[in-house]
Structure 1
């Protein structure tokens, strides 16, 4: 008797699992389309100053905005986006880092999120002089901005969670001139995304 009940429950559970698998296969959400672009450099200033120990050096204050465009192609499921990590560097030298908030893109919709990365009063030591020279010579200051995050769909009460990893990189060439109309430093940028 007990064995019969146990067998019936196993059979019911197997049928339930099969239904979930069929539902997932029929409605399998496609990977989202991700792109980023530099929205503006509101501030990028290299000034004279001293670090916490009194050593004279170049001090950097910067604020860069990045637009993240998420195109959720799923007609049924919203897309959960982990907090994006953004890093800014000059060559191999890290300049700034930030963690964005958790994000959500509704089903069958395109969502635009504005994120920020920057630093305030960061001692740059020898690199600060190099950065200043590149700006003053008019060649442009090359910076790299990298972003990484994960996205997932939560299908059937989190029992199935297809997940995607995304990385993006922008090469940013910064000019010393300021564009008053758009309230940003003049710059050129090229971004690529790997999903």
Structure 2
């Protein structure tokens, strides 16, 4: 059973619909016990960092998520909140990935929205996915390149398209909105 973490992130239903297409059962919940018992956890996100982090703290989810031992997949804002400092609202994240989240330079076209290619694939998430495959992105902030980077996207500058550390995986793009290639990534996460 998948647990999709419930909070004010805007794409929880899209993630559940993507799992339904793969015939995977999931629940949308903020219940500690259900999240801890889940085989896998997805931490989705569409929203603003500081208000979302405030809500996570009110529900103590900011304490629970870093302690999870099953595979966890952070998506978009979920990925960014798993990092350290975030320039959006001067927000401190959960620090699972010790890297910074920065705003794209304002003189360029922001947000980064639409399909873009990824490269430098270094994760079991990318089985049957190739260099140069396209995923769907919508974001104005990016995770710096680091030792946790498992793929790179280039928009204005190179940034981490995906991260991995121990049982924690994260994607800046939205696999649930990335068609067949996104479904393949979710299938690969199922196998971890």
Same fold at TM > 0.5:
no
TM-score computed with the length of structure 2 as normaliser: 0.23
Greater relative contact order (CA < 8 Å, ≥ 6 in sequence): 1
Greater share of helix residues, 1 or 2?
2
- In our comparison, the structure showing a higher alpha carbon Rg is 1
TM-score, normalised relative to structure 1: 0.23
Name the structure with the higher strand share: 1
